[in-house]
Amino acid sequence: MTGTLIEVRRESLRDFLGARLYASEADRDLASLLLAVAAAARSIAGVVARGALAEAGRGAGAVNVHGEVQKPLDLIANEIFLRACERDGVVAGMVSEELDEPYAIPERYPRGRYLLAFDPLDGSSNIDVDVTVGSIFSVLRHAGDEPPCADDFLQAGNRQVAAGYALYGPATMLVLSIGEGVHGFTLDAGSAEFVLTHPAMRIDPDAGEFAINASNARFWQPAVKRYVADCQAGRDGHFGRDFNMRWIASLVAEVHRILMRGGVYLYPRDEKLPARAGRLRLLYEANPMAMLVEQAGGRASTGREQLQQLLPDAIHQRIPLILGARNDVERIERYHRESDDGSDRPFASPLFHENSLFLPEAR
């Protein structure tokens, strides 16, 4: 008896977007933009796979607006994004981590109705040790007819019409949301297409893992110390269950792990650099990841307020970021409230201090 091998055809990214973004010209333009982002991700994946070979003959870049030396692959990835997304008449302007000011669409191309903000190569410092890196992107609407200025990008995260990331690891993946859940697409090397492999990704409301840079523990605020202590107490503490701790130092890899198997990621405000509100950029790192996490049933916060409600005040604004399992993020927010109002401190009275009238050793 012989069997017949039946190949199951997976839905391609093009088909996925075509089935959902067809009702208006704006929808079709958004689909075109997301396909351009996917093409950029496919090209960047090839460059990243070459590692040091791709950097041969290229010197280090200049210092960018964040005071960081730009790696050659950062600049290559940035150029790939710009070239892939500027031509089709769907983008009005772009903001990148690697550019001080918004990028204006060249006059030879038509200008579209969307704004694109992106980090072309998140976690690029990990490339030297072959750790997973990625690209992050956020899509906003442009309301005016004039070329956009920086202020046009300063929209709250809840105004995003799409967001996502590309992951360059053992497999190349594109994970995105158009406001209807979160879906993961894997690059098929044979067809060079992204195909749907992880539909409707969800985050469990309770975490079993937490990710934080423990080397900064002495700088953490009390609420963060309290939450981490709860996790470390495991089954003997408030949670009644044991936790694992992870830290990759690549935002894309951290969020992908949470979407795949749950948990919480913390890059909180601390006292290491008191004048700096946080480490991650709101517009093109925190906001797109917040959209994905909340579309998957999780929560994203600064620790004190829901992140997607914030109105940015600069295109490169930094922000603290805590995201993942909804119940755990809400607990951290509660801990911050209790720390701020003093209700997390034990009651203390001068009447009961050492050598007071109310202690046995007092005379």
Options 3.30.540.10, 2.40.340.10, 3.30.70.940, 1.10.287.3240; which CATH number does 13-198 get? 3.30.540.10
Instruction: Walk along the chain (363 residues) in steps of 10 and give the mean pLDDT of each run.
Output: 57 97 96 98 94 61 63 93 96 97 95 97 81 95 92 98 96 97 96 97 97 96 97 93 94 97 96 87 98 98 96 97 98 96 72 53 45
State the pLDDT at residue 1.
Answer: 44
Q: What is the pTM of this model?
A: 0.90
Q: Could you tell me which of 101, 113, 149 has the C-alpha nearest to residue 31?
A: 113
Could you tell me which residues come within 8 angstroms of residue 171 by beta carbon, excluding any fewer than 6 positions away? Answer: 186, 187
| Residues, the chain | 363
Asked if 249 and 243 touch (Cβ cutoff 8 Å), the reply is no
43 alpha-carbon distance from chain centroid? 21
CATH architecture, domain defined by 209-341 = 3-Layer(aba) Sandwich (3.40)
Looking at the chain, the domain(s) classified CATH 3.30.540.10 span 13-198
Looking at the chain, the domain(s) classified CATH 3.40.190.80 span 209-341
How far, in Å, CA of 31 to CA of 41, rounded? 15
